[in-house]
Amino acid sequence: MIKNPVGRQITRVEGDAETLKNLFSSIAIAVARILFCFFGMSVVMIIVNYKLYILILILLHIVLYAFLWFGKNVRPIYINLRKKIAEIKSLIMETIRGFLLFRYLTRKIIS
Protein backbone atom coordinates (compact mmCIF):
# COMPACT_ATOMS: atom_id res chain seq x y z
CA MET A 1 0.00 0.00 0.00
CA ILE A 2 2.59 2.56 1.05
CA LYS A 3 5.46 2.94 -1.40
CA ASN A 4 7.62 5.07 0.89
CA PRO A 5 8.69 4.14 4.41
CA VAL A 6 7.31 6.17 7.31
CA GLY A 7 10.71 7.69 8.08
CA ARG A 8 11.03 9.14 4.59
CA GLN A 9 7.53 10.63 4.78
CA ILE A 10 8.22 12.22 8.17
CA THR A 11 11.47 13.66 6.81
CA ARG A 12 9.58 15.17 3.88
CA VAL A 13 6.93 16.68 6.15
CA GLU A 14 9.57 18.17 8.43
CA GLY A 15 11.45 19.52 5.41
CA ASP A 16 8.28 21.08 4.05
CA ALA A 17 7.53 22.67 7.43
CA GLU A 18 11.07 24.07 7.58
CA THR A 19 10.73 25.43 4.05
CA LEU A 20 7.45 27.15 4.94
CA LYS A 21 9.01 28.62 8.08
CA ASN A 22 11.90 30.03 6.04
CA LEU A 23 9.49 31.35 3.42
CA PHE A 24 7.35 33.22 5.96
CA SER A 25 10.35 34.66 7.76
CA SER A 26 11.88 35.91 4.50
CA ILE A 27 8.53 37.41 3.48
CA ALA A 28 8.22 39.18 6.84
CA ILE A 29 11.71 40.64 6.47
CA ALA A 30 10.99 41.77 2.90
CA VAL A 31 7.70 43.43 3.90
CA ALA A 32 9.38 45.21 6.82
CA ARG A 33 12.15 46.46 4.53
CA ILE A 34 9.65 47.71 1.94
CA LEU A 35 7.56 49.51 4.58
CA PHE A 36 10.67 51.09 6.08
CA CYS A 37 11.76 52.35 2.65
CA PHE A 38 8.25 53.62 1.87
CA PHE A 39 7.96 55.59 5.10
CA GLY A 40 11.53 56.85 4.79
CA MET A 41 10.88 58.12 1.28
CA SER A 42 7.60 59.65 2.44
CA VAL A 43 9.41 61.64 5.13
CA VAL A 44 12.00 62.85 2.61
CA MET A 45 9.27 63.83 0.13
CA ILE A 46 7.37 65.75 2.82
CA ILE A 47 10.54 67.64 3.69
CA VAL A 48 11.43 68.37 0.05
CA ASN A 49 7.99 69.19 -1.38
CA TYR A 50 4.86 68.49 0.64
CA LYS A 51 2.47 69.56 -2.17
CA LEU A 52 3.94 66.96 -4.51
CA TYR A 53 3.68 64.39 -1.72
CA ILE A 54 -0.04 65.10 -1.28
CA LEU A 55 -0.58 64.80 -5.05
CA ILE A 56 1.26 61.46 -5.12
CA LEU A 57 -0.79 60.18 -2.18
CA ILE A 58 -4.01 61.05 -3.99
CA LEU A 59 -2.82 59.33 -7.16
CA LEU A 60 -1.64 56.32 -5.15
CA HIS A 61 -5.10 55.93 -3.63
CA ILE A 62 -6.74 56.15 -7.05
CA VAL A 63 -4.40 53.50 -8.48
CA LEU A 64 -4.90 51.25 -5.45
CA TYR A 65 -8.68 51.55 -5.74
CA ALA A 66 -8.48 50.75 -9.48
CA PHE A 67 -6.43 47.60 -8.76
CA LEU A 68 -8.86 46.45 -6.07
CA TRP A 69 -11.86 47.11 -8.31
CA PHE A 70 -10.23 45.28 -11.22
CA GLY A 71 -9.32 42.30 -9.03
CA LYS A 72 -12.83 42.12 -7.58
CA ASN A 73 -14.48 42.21 -11.00
CA VAL A 74 -12.03 39.92 -12.80
CA ARG A 75 -12.02 37.14 -10.18
CA PRO A 76 -15.51 35.76 -11.04
CA ILE A 77 -14.64 35.83 -14.73
CA TYR A 78 -11.39 33.97 -14.04
CA ILE A 79 -13.17 31.35 -11.91
CA ASN A 80 -15.78 30.86 -14.64
CA LEU A 81 -13.01 30.52 -17.23
CA ARG A 82 -11.25 27.88 -15.12
CA LYS A 83 -14.51 25.91 -14.83
CA LYS A 84 -15.04 26.03 -18.59
CA ILE A 85 -11.45 24.90 -19.22
CA ALA A 86 -11.94 22.02 -16.77
CA GLU A 87 -15.12 20.98 -18.61
CA ILE A 88 -13.32 21.08 -21.96
CA LYS A 89 -10.39 19.05 -20.61
CA SER A 90 -12.70 16.43 -19.12
CA LEU A 91 -14.60 16.19 -22.42
CA ILE A 92 -11.34 15.72 -24.32
CA MET A 93 -10.14 13.06 -21.88
CA GLU A 94 -13.45 11.20 -22.09
CA THR A 95 -13.26 11.31 -25.89
CA ILE A 96 -9.68 9.99 -25.89
CA ARG A 97 -10.56 7.23 -23.42
CA GLY A 98 -13.60 6.31 -25.50
CA PHE A 99 -11.48 6.20 -28.63
CA LEU A 100 -8.89 3.98 -26.93
CA LEU A 101 -11.62 1.67 -25.62
CA PHE A 102 -13.19 1.50 -29.09
CA ARG A 103 -9.79 0.65 -30.58
CA TYR A 104 -9.18 -2.02 -27.96
CA LEU A 105 -12.60 -3.61 -28.51
CA THR A 106 -12.14 -3.50 -32.28
CA ARG A 107 -8.83 -5.33 -31.99
CA LYS A 108 -10.39 -7.83 -29.60
CA ILE A 109 -13.25 -8.56 -32.01
CA ILE A 110 -10.92 -8.87 -35.02
CA SER A 111 -8.54 -11.28 -33.28
Tell me which of 101 and 61 has the higher pLDDT.
61
pLDDT(4) > 80: no
Query: 54 lies in a domain?
Result: no
> What is the tens place of the pLDDT at every residue in 13-43?
667 777 778 888 889 899 999 999 999 999 9
Query: 3 lies in a domain?
Result: yes
Same domain, 4 and 39: yes
Range of the structural domain that residue 23 is part of: 1-48
Query: 78 lies in a domain?
Result: yes
Q: Which of 45-49, 55-59, 95-99 has the lowest mean pLDDT?
A: 95-99
Tell me what pLDDT residue 71 has: 87
> Which band of pLDDT confidence, cut at 50, 70 and 90, is reported for residue 99?
confident
Distance in angstroms (rounded) separating the CA atoms of residues 58 and 46? 14
**What's the predicted TM-score (pTM) here?**
0.48
Query: 53 lies in a domain?
Result: no
Distance in angstroms (rounded) separating the CA atoms of residues 104 and 95? 14
Same domain, 42 and 72: no
* CB half-sphere exposure, 18, CA atoms < 13 A: 6
- Give residue 32's identity as a one-letter amino acid code: A
Query: 59 lies in a domain?
Result: no
Number of domains in the chain: 2
